[in-house]
Amino acid sequence: MNDSAKPLSTKRIAVLGAPIEIGASQRGTLMGPAALRTAGLLTVLEGLDFTVEDHGDMSVAQVAPLDDLVPENTKHYWEIQRWIRALSAHAYRLAQSGAIPIFIGGDHSLSMGSVNGVARHCREVGRELFVMWLDAHADYNTPSTTITGNMHGMSAAFLCGEKGLDSLMGSEPRASIDPSRLDLFGTRSVDKLEKDLLRLRRVSVADMRQIDEFGVSVLIRRVIDKVKARGGVLHLSFDVDFLDPEVAPGVGTTVPGGATYREAHMIMELLHDSGIVQSLDIVELNPFLDERGRTARNVVDLIGSLFGQQITDRPTPTVAVEPEH
């Protein structure tokens, strides 16, 4: 059996923290990796019989900056470039190891590196990589369409090979995916020029109206069927603001009308059953804005569902019973 024919399923998980916050407008996501660990992410995964390798939080202190020209409308370009180059190399090595890489952030700009590294590995072993973008935002801006200049809003566009950040990877190989292999899910905040570009590229967008109309199970199964029909694997990029603010207040870019707790669990359970998820980002958790860790705990619970935790596996709070007199 050659490498491209080997099944990618594994009981090993490699966790890497990417405490980057400068891609977003509000600081605080650098505390996201610590919050997820504190909320029990590793314990939950180990309880599901995975061997979990915690690679700690990466740093770019030793990564040499490049001196290419800074594109217009790209805030903190050079520093983000250092993160993306380093993340791509880390992601490539973790994917090569045979483990399921989980990248915990950190703002969504980290996905430009994590997904690129995983896509590079998939390309080498002959597997198509598909990406599901669970996010309130499309993140399909480019330097020429962005309103804010915040680079976490350019991640999906960069991954699909859009122009404007052509030197971002430096000498690190760039492994773009075709826009047909990107699925935006739960979208409810899109800029006008961004929307035009999405239509031009025919990117699949399941917005909240479609979710209300058809339900998450129908729409998720469409994605699963598409990936399976092509013999591909899926990278899940999970932005916490995909969830409704009532469920996840600990994000800096809340948008009302997001997915409910039950809808999110249904998505994760269906993806687990499909067996196609082979890498994962968890991004935009901002503990500074959270309510006593509630968002972090909810996210960890959802990741548990993604990796096989059932309702009967979750501890039920004990209820004190008054003795009869």
Residue numbers annotated as active site: 108, 135, 137, 139, 152, 239, 241, 284
Sign of CA dihedral 263, 264, 270, 273: negative
| DSSP per-residue codes, 246-261 | TT----SS--SS-B-H
**Residue 126 φ/ψ region, left for φ over 0, alpha for ψ in the -120 to 50 degree band, beta for the rest:** left
User: How many DSSP H helices and E strands does the chain contain?
Assistant: 10, 8
Any idea which residue has 């994962």 for tokens? 280
User: Mutual orientation of helices 261-274 and 294-306 as an angle, nearest 10°?
Assistant: 30
Alpha carbon 273 to its chain centroid, in Å, reads 19
Q: What are phi and psi of 248, to 5 degrees?
A: -135, 80
Q: CA 20, CA 15: separation in Å to the nearest integer?
A: 15
> Residue 249 corresponds to which amino acid?
P
Q: CA 259, CA 208: separation in Å to the nearest integer?
A: 8
C-alpha separations of 140 from 2, 146, 207, 216, 277 in Å: 36, 9, 14, 22, 22
